[in-house]
Amino acid sequence: MPKVLDGVAIAAAIQQEVAGEVRALTAKGIQPGLAAVMVGNMAASLIYVRNKVQTCASLGIYSDLITRPAAVTTAELLELVASLNARDEIDGILIQLPLPAHVDTKTVLDAVYPGKDVDGLHPLNAGCLMAGRPALAPCTPAGIIEILKRSGIPIRGQHAVVVGRSDIVGKPAAMLLLHQNATVTICHSKTQNLGEITREADILVAAIGRPGYITAKMIKPGATVIDVGMNRITDPTEFARFFAGDAKREAAFAKRGSILIGDVHPQAFEQAGAYTPVPGGVGPLTIAMLMANTVRAAKMRREKNS
């Protein structure tokens, strides 16, 4: 039986460590602070942001949730970001994505001061990550490394294949794995003979954003599979394709009308030696690493000035 890598337990351990760091900083008169900017009223995004704010409160981190209407302009958001850059009690700035189509997302993200860029998306932080210099790394890729390390999965000398090339997950995950001395291959939707490449992976990171895309025949027996996908299925036909005969999930789908699935086909995990489930795998690490990045940003910016 493959080993299930429990992201919930690992995230809880990281949050305990972060709480200890917060107490140590508070004793020095420094309370780390996070500002979360939410545009519009997308229900899923609002729930996600509120979870982040609640986690801040549980760890002793100051938080400020700032909401703006969907009609907000790029100029107005740039003005808001400038004001947050100037606030000394704010160590981290989170711009909840996606922003409305009329907003220039890259311009807004680039306006965040790199030392407060706790999502690790600023070009300066991306460049430092590429060069192996100290930087705030994107939360999900950083969480992937923590899952592997804390689960005792060897990285050094292993062949890691990352399926997906986004700036948020795929590219930074590949860089972080490379810095841990893995041999890294990056694949994507245009890669030819994808299955032949993924079958060579000791560590397979699925971050392509397609439900059940990675099948059993694409996985090397005994490989570690990190499923980053968070895809919501609402179509009964599609549900049956992945979960037919799974009584527990059938009951959940009948009740809620939807269910989450990763980028890996549920039956494919039987081929793995270890894997992250969806939900309960990589997802909880994203918030935990956001908290860790906020505390790290506070240390980098305020401890040296105290």
User: Would residue 31 show up in a list of annotated catalytic residues for this protein?
Assistant: no
Distance of alpha carbon 300 from alpha carbon 42, whole angstroms: 33
CA atoms within 13 A on the CB side of 196: 3
Contact 161, 182 (CB under 8 A): no
Contact 252, 259 (CB under 8 A): yes
User: Would residue 52 show up in a list of annotated catalytic residues for this protein?
Assistant: yes
User: Would residue 96 show up in a list of annotated catalytic residues for this protein?
Assistant: yes
Active-site residue (options: 15, 52, 220, 271): 52
CA atoms within 13 A on the CB side of 216: 7
Contact 61, 22 (CB under 8 A): yes
Radius of gyration of the chain (CA): 20
Distance of alpha carbon 169 from alpha carbon 142, whole angstroms: 9
Active-site residue (options: 119, 202, 227, 263): 119
DSSP 16: H
Active-site residue (options: 15, 91, 96, 171): 96
Q: Catalytic residue positions? A: 52, 96, 119
